[in-house]
Structure 1
Amino acid sequence: MPDSRRDDAVPPADHEELSPTSATDTAEKAITTDGPVGRKAGASADQRRRRTVTVLAVLAVLALATLVVTGVRWYESTQSDAAAAAALRDEAVDAAQQIVVNINTVRPNTLDADLDAAQSSLTEPMLGEYQRVRQRFAENLRQAQAEVVATPVSAAITAFDPERRTATALVAIDVNARSASAPPQSKQQLFLVEMIQTPDGWKAAKATPSTGQQ
């Protein structure tokens, strides 16, 4: 009687054998970067790098723009301050000349107006001193029929403090004087004027004849 167990142990002739390289091939295909998954990962990395570079570039531009704006504002501020100080200095020079003219000009026909102009050019302590002698000074001028006319020649600032609003100027004037009892006289005189800027403009706190008059 034939042995059936031997026949069962023999595999069928048409059974397909597994290729020994099929597992390796499958793994290589799974991890290769040439496949769709690899290309997508590479593209994502490139996009991230491009976004990072773009953000850094924008931040650099913004930082540069901030520096430029800050520099422009600082420059405009300093230029503005310098221009304001220069304008204030010019005002002080003009005021010094006018003050010296006012306190050295009196005419018989406009005596009260001339004395008012002189007084309006002064501040303390010179203002108080002028007010104390004004009446006696006016009487003497009327009696003498004196006329004194000053014209500005030049002026220069010798000290200037824009923060404290003070200035000192040296002013040269030509003076033409005459009276009922004296012939006309002409001379050039220097005045040293110490000024303070008040709400009503520059005024003299002190004005004294300087050496060098001719």
Structure 2
Amino acid sequence: MTGITTSDAETRGATSLRQATTDGHETVAAASKIILVRHGLPGGPAGPDPGLGPEGVDQARRLGSWLRGLPVVQVVASSYMRAHETARHAAEPLGLDVRVDERLREWDSDRAVYATPEAIAATDRGRAFAEGRYDDFVPDYDRDATAARMRSAVLDAAAAAPGELSVLVSHGGVINTLLSDILRAPSPFFFNPAYTSVSRIAVTRSGRLVVQSVNETAHLG
């Protein structure tokens, strides 16, 4: 967001959430619910911002069919094509528009060519990731700043729909970062999210984030 720092946005999100809800017990049952989704499998051509390939479109449509049975009130996505297209296909059965939030973007926003983790598995960078050498895999990665902007995006989504269910479509690296930050995991990359996998977060009335599930894929079966 132009003119708003990440820390300002996070503070504002938590404040708005408290103001948007009535006084009550600090319970997960009364919390706003967030479904955090990784985008579908990208296709070509190679470049910094590819859209979905045919398999990714199918994954997104399966996600939409599954979401149709849930009381979703808003769908928010990164502006990157692979995430926005996933959100659009998923939102269509719900009759909802997709709102863009730049804070949901991936951590490597300046990369010239996007490559899936599977595509780089045999490279030095891919081996560094597989072996847990994350400083070598992402040498310019700012874990704290990335976690803070993701938190602010989640808090603002919850504030916009207090007590309701929202879907946020983002990217594997930043989803890892947010969940590891909430769980206080030592590694910022503790799992590899499947394409269109679902992780659930509850946002309590005080702005506390509670991880309820990680990497659900039943909707793809």
TM-score by length of 2: 0.19
More strand by share: 1
Q: Which has the higher contact order (CA 8 A, sep 6+)?
A: 2
More helix by share: 1
TM-score by length of 1: 0.19
Q: Which has the larger radius of gyration?
A: 1
